């Protein structure tokens, strides 16, 4: 069900709402730390330190819904309390659409991901100051969320416009008795102007890049292109690009044995870790054979996974243009430059 309600809430009342949420939910929100903005667990002691950065954080919402490591052999790893993630950006909401399709869309549903997802409430916020590596506009995205959220925030002067995007979001506002009023046209016009300015900034930032007219064809027909070897020359195989990506989902299962409660007994747990297609051993099989020994082949696979394999198999584009991989890459590989270099006009 699509909810069309938009409210205006004064900042003081918004803070009271967040304080009320702490009684029922675990709240995760951005705080400004010495190294930059980071997600942190919120308590009454640090509630006033919550900030709303104009650009996405290095961490994505994926970290809290699909953890880097979790026990998948028993229920103790599952959330015991519902969680609210505050300040999620539009690019991360699109990434969760991809993860939902992978883990929930087929005949076999991942029960652990499903539980995390159902127990998480997403409060997104507009992205008024896109970063220099953001390129969501080149992939059909925008710096503000239009779907996928429970509530979305747009800060206007001394208050915030709150879009209600789900029944969960609507019920949360009503249950916690938030003092609010319907959004006035004048405030909506201010928000529209702010959003337009963000879009124009993205256009200016990415004006030198071109992926062609059809994003679905961006890598098709380029499997043997020399572009892969050219950009792989600076790749160090650190896997930062996949580890920081909000939509990468590959994992590795392993068993952990620990002494049991009885003498001579052993207890086993099955753990799931994030894996990476950029790892040397990712495609290695019995006998040592490896179809992707070369860095260029592994680099190429990542692009084909996001721009051809996922669209053809799941009808989703597995890149949201968040630019985190550009920031994290030790070899200074810019995904925008790679995709542009594949186009015949470049």
Give the number of other CB atoms < 10 A from CB of residue 85.
23
Each residue's pLDDT expressed in tens, for the chain with a length of 346 residues: 444 699 999 999 999 999 999 999 999 999 998 888 999 999 999 999 999 989 999 999 999 999 999 998 876 666 667 999 999 999 999 999 999 999 999 889 999 999 999 999 999 999 999 999 999 999 999 999 999 999 999 999 889 999 999 999 999 999 998 899 999 999 999 999 999 999 999 999 999 998 877 887 899 999 999 999 999 999 999 999 999 999 999 999 998 887 766 655 677 889 999 999 999 999 998 888 988 999 999 999 999 999 999 999 999 999 999 999 999 999 999 999 999 999 876 4
φ/ψ (deg, to 5) at 27 = -110, 125
How much is the pLDDT for 346? 45
**Nearest-CA neighbor of 152 among 266, 3, 46, 264?**
3
Whether 215 and 317 have beta carbons less than 8 Å apart is answered as yes
pLDDT of residue 315: 92
Other C-beta atoms closer than 10 Å to the C-beta of 160 total 23
**Residue 169, both tokens:** 């979001």
Q: What does the domain layout of the chain look like in residue ranges?
A: 6-205, 215-248+278-341
Task: Report the C-alpha gap between 4 and 23 in whole angstroms.
Answer: 28
- For the full predicted model, state whether its pTM sits above 0.85: yes
* Contact (Cβ atoms closer than 8 angstroms) between residue 131 and residue 53: no
- Which positions ≥6 away from 272 have C-beta within 8 Å? 69, 70, 71, 72, 112, 251, 252, 253
In this predicted structure, what is the pLDDT of residue 26?
95
What does the pLDDT read at residue 213?
75
- CB-based burial of residue 285 (10 Å sphere; 0-12 exposed, 13-18 middle, 19+ buried)? exposed
Q: Is residue 43 packed enough to be buried (19+ CB in 10 Å), middle (13-18) or exposed (0-12)?
A: exposed
What are the structure tokens assigned to 335, written together? 């995904």
The 3-class SS string of the chain reads CCCCCEEEEEHHHHHHHHHHHCCCCEEEEEEEECCEEEEEECCCCCHHHECCCCCCCCCCCHHHHCCCEEECCCHHHCCCCCEEEEEECHHHHHHHHHHHHHHHCCCCCCHHHHHHHHCEEEEEECCCCCCCCCCHHHHCCCCCCCCCCCEEEEEECCEEEEEECCHHHHHHHHHCCCCCEECCHHHHHHHHHHHHHHHHHHHHHCCCCCCCCCHHHCCCCCCCCCHHHHHHCCCCCCCHHHHHCCCCCCEEEEEEEEECCCCCCEEEEEEEEECCCCCCCCCCCHHHCCCCCCHHHHHHHHHHHHHHHHHHHHCCCCCCCCCHHHHHCCCCCCHHHHHHHCCCCC
Q: What pLDDT is recorded for position 2? A: 43
Q: What confidence score (pLDDT) does residue 1 get?
A: 40
What CA–CA distance (Å, rounded) separates 117 from 104?
10
Beta bridge partners of 27: 84
Report the half-sphere exposure of 56 (CA within 13 A, side-chain side): 33
């Amino acid at each position: 069900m699509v909810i069309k309600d938009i409210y205006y809430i004064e900042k003081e009342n918004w803070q009271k709402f967040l304080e009320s949420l702490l009684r029922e939910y675990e709240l995760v929100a951005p705080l400004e730390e010495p190294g930059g903005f980071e997600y942190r667990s919120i308590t009454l002691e640090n509630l006033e330190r919550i900030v709303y950065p104009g650009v996405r954080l290095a961490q994505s919402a994926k970290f809290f819904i699909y953890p880097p490591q979790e026990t998948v052999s028993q229920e103790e790893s599952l959330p015991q309390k519902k969680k609210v993630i505050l300040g999620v950006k539009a690019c991360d909401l699109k990434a969760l659409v991809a993860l939902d399709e992978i883990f929930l869309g087929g005949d076999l549903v991942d029960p652990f991901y499903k539980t995390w997802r159902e127990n998480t409430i997403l409060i997104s916020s507009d992205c008024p100051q896109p970063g220099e590596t953001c390129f969501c506009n080149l992939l059909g995205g925008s710096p503000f969320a239009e779907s996928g959220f429970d509530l979305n925030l747009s800060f206007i002067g001394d208050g915030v416009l709150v879009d209600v995007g789900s029944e969960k979001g609507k019920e949360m506002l009503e249950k916690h008795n938030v003092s609010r009023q319907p959004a006035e046209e004048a405030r909506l016009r201010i928000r529209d102007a702010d959003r337009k300015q963000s879009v124009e900034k993205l256009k200016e930032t990415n004006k030198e890049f071109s992926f062609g007219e059809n994003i679905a064809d961006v890598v098709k027909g380029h499997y043997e292109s020399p572009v892969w070897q050219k950009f792989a020359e600076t790749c160090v195989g650190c896997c930062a690009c996949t580890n920081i990506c909000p939509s990468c989902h590959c994992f590795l299962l392993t068993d952990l044995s620990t002494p049991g409660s009885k003498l001579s007994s052993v207890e086993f747990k099955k753990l799931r870790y994030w894996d990476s297609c950029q790892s040397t051993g990712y495609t290695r099989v019995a006998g040592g054979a490896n179809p992707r020994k070369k860095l260029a082949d592994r680099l190429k696979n990542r692009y084909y996974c996001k721009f051809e394999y996922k669209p053809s198999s799941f009808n989703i584009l597995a890149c949201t243009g968040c630019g985190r991989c550009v920031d994290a890459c030790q070899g200074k590989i810019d995904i925008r430059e790679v995709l542009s270099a594949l186009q015949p006009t470049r």
